Amino acid sequence: KKVLVINGPNLNLLGVREKSVYGSETLLDIAKAVNDESLKLGLDTDFIQSNIEGEIIEKLHSARGVYDVVIINAAAYTHYSIAIRDAIKAIEIPAIEIHLSNIHSREEFRHTSVIAPVCVGQICGFGKMSYILALHAAANLQT
């Protein structure tokens, strides 16, 4: 199975940014853990990050016919990007929403995910483990 992991804005600053919320591991540390777990699960996983909404949408579009599952941490776009939501819906590839933090226990504006209704499910609050759990979900998805 081919899996695309998409990371949204500011996640390139992990390990530097708001460490009390997001921990001290970098996105590269997470990418390595995702790569190791993918090998164990027999998944062929690509891992990307972009700070640009349109770029994330284009990555989603070009995932069509290439990837079986998308795992997406849309970061702040989660809360208001109808364009990313529409792209996830349009490509008809099962998507799993993830977050490092528990968005439901934080500020009110993070409680809403506009992408949640077009995703298979949401995993949040487990830090790096949210990514690992999502890989397991992807491996077990009927696609």
Residues with catalytic function: 22, 99
Nearer to ligand DQA, 39 or 116 (CB): 116
Q: Counting contacts by CB under 6 A, is residue 128 touching ligand DQA? A: no
Residues 87 and 60 sit within 8 Å (Cβ to Cβ): yes
Q: How many residues bind ligand DQA (CB under 6 A)?
A: 10
For residue 25, how many other CB atoms are within 10 A of its CB? 16
Nearer to ligand DQA, 27 or 41 (CB): 27
DSSP 8-state class, residue 105:
G
Q: Counting contacts by CB under 6 A, is residue 73 touching ligand DQA? A: yes
Q: Counting contacts by CB under 6 A, is residue 100 touching ligand DQA? A: yes
Radius of gyration for the alpha carbons in the chain, expressed in angstroms and rounded: 14
Nearer to ligand DQA, 43 or 75 (CB): 75
Q: Maximum distance among all alpha carbons in the chain?
A: 39
Please, what is the minimum distance in Å from the beta carbon of residue 17 to ligand DQA? 8
Q: Where do contacts with ligand DQA occur on this chain (CB under 6 A)?
A: 10, 73, 75-76, 78, 99-101, 103, 110
